[in-house]
Structure 1
Amino acid sequence: MSKIMFVFGTRPEFIKLYPVIMEARSRQHEVVIVNTGQHREMLDNLLAELDVTPDFDLKVMTRQQSLAEILARTVAPLDDVVARVRPDHLFVHGDTSATLSGSLISLYRHVPLSHVEAGLRTYNKHSPFPEEMNRQITGVLADYHFTPTEVTRQNLEREGKDPNRIFVVGNSAIDMLRYTVRPSFRHPVLDELGDRRLILMTVHRRENISELGQMFAAINDIAVRYGDTHKIVYPIHMNPVVRQAADQYLTAPAIEIIEPLGTTDFHNLLSRSHLVMTDSGGIQEEAPSLGKPVLVLRDTTERPEGVAAGTLRLVGTGRDDIVREAVRLLDDPAEYARMAAIQNPYGDGTTAQQIMDVMDKVASDEGKAAAVPAESSLPA
């Protein structure tokens, strides 16, 4: 079997690589896990919850690092690890500094690279920043592109990627829900809802920092209007700028600000929510699998399939726009039901299995090629 290295540094990356790691282990591949440590507490809690101990922890994060410092502190230690381990294959996910670092080291060390969640594009290098260019650079370096949808496949083909190295497999975020969503789940947030419905929100993106005032003012307007029938729960990001803006604008009694949730807690609250308002990425894929309409609080999204299908509604960051679209769903049960019933375009929960089917075939083909004698050594 192959020696496969998985490189990640944030909780969202691990959430989407975990099903692939588990599938690789189930097929008896040797799995090597490298955590660059870009996220610390949130990721460590999830690793402990799922009983995963990384083989290497690079611990790159220090307070108030720049993007350049994060990358610089990752590349050289990761190069040392790859040189020592000598994996047959290296996996990265998505669009983080760990993804970019792993991609560069796979090039430097001549290790075949697989990119999970490949092909997402806005073609605006500043939105999302720096994720868009991390994705594009990784796409240039990857040998195998595991892409969620036909739209993302077409992005890669237009960029000149080899069609025989592109595989439409859905998104492994859907696979992860099988490990986390539990019918018997209990949480104080749910106990305190009473007869009210849950609106779950997340806001944290770097490019939205300057828009927090109007975004949070819109959320507060919604909470005031629907406070008798709905409760807005906000697991707040650790960024102190986000927290300061939340303290200033999110004052309605129907808003509950809580500390960041573990993945299992978040997925289970998501499964019991009525509506989701977010500027996050992965939630745009997860919520539709659970039948939850999503208002995307961004001006662009690298997940246009959900917008086209109707599971997502791109509403921007303006106060009036956010309120108008929330009212539209909350006041019109038919419109809500239509959006909630649309099939998720991001897959059926078999992504990890499909990825490892490809990897097993790659390993088999490489083994067959290695078994064929070189032409010069063939008998006359």
Structure 2
Amino acid sequence: GEDTAVQALHEGADDYILKDKTARLPTAVVRAIREARSLAERARVEQELLRAQRLDCLAMLAAGLSHDLRNILQPLLIVPDLLAIHSDDPKIHKLGQVISESGRRGHEMAESMLAFVRGSGVARERVDVAALLQAVQLLLHGSLGRQVRLEVESLPEGELVTRGNYTELQQSLLNLCLNAVQAMPEGGTVTLSARQRQAPGGSVVCISVTDTGVGMDAETLSQLFTPFFSTKSDGTGLGLVSCKRIVETYDGRIEVRSTPGQGTTFEVILPILQDEAEAEAIESAAAGQGQRILIVDGDATRLSLIGNALVSQGYEPMRALDGAIALQAMAVDMPDLAIIDNDILLLSAASLLSTMRERGYAGPVVVLQDP
């Protein structure tokens, strides 16, 4: 009865449904899965918040250090010119050039640190990927050596559209292309392309920057997005970190594939901006994505009906007529959600749920209750 349902809720059930109201079962399943995801997301966000707080402290320290460093280095950019004016000695001129170059590199590092710490906070806009690739191609034109060839795959205007800040995304792609050029000291080909790709959450835009350069080993790949890590002697180690931050700001990610001696591919993955008709089609699609749902019900007819309804919604039902069968099924395949009849034989719903929790089940639970 109702007392048993209340007890099941105390044991950790997420919901209960009256048996004459099973029409709302698909809705309850979707809600229970959504709430379980929400709890997992909340835990992840809390961890990210703690990490962000630590990074904020480091950012404040980095901002102060970079500001002071920039001021300290400023004279190094002036002194070499003064030395050239007051001395005709070639050795002095050469030393002045060394000082000037060191000062310039230090100044660039300080500027990069400040830019990284400040972030952007700019508004999002509609970004046509074809126009973005053309802009990067124009910016790179004339800055590549004769031994480097740039190939940009043509893309119809408006075919691929994402949302972000045009200037920042352009900056990120330009940075990746310049890195690709620097990875080919003996020359080679940089290929810039874009395509639509299917991902677990739906369609995405995939922008690829591929080079035929020296490639990277697994150890280098693992540190690629670590602040201040660089494979270049004059690198600041903030370029790729900045690219990653920009892309993630717009709900994207960067994937990297590389083989020593065979080149590297960076893929910028961004959400695709869909038209209204496509968005409605996705919204009306089946809610399930193959999640396993354990159904425990002593009524074979209802068990079959519920299972068939869940199959039509895109779920994979695991049917059990009693608690013992349910526990056996769970030992083989851990379900993503459980639907338990409050009047099952052998074990009560509350007892079954308690045993399931003891055996490692941490997913949501919906209890079926008599009216």
TM-score (norm 2): 0.22
Q: Which has the larger radius of gyration?
A: 2
Task: Flag the structure with higher strand content.
Answer: 2
Structure of greater relative contact order (alpha carbons < 8 Å, 6+ residues apart): 2
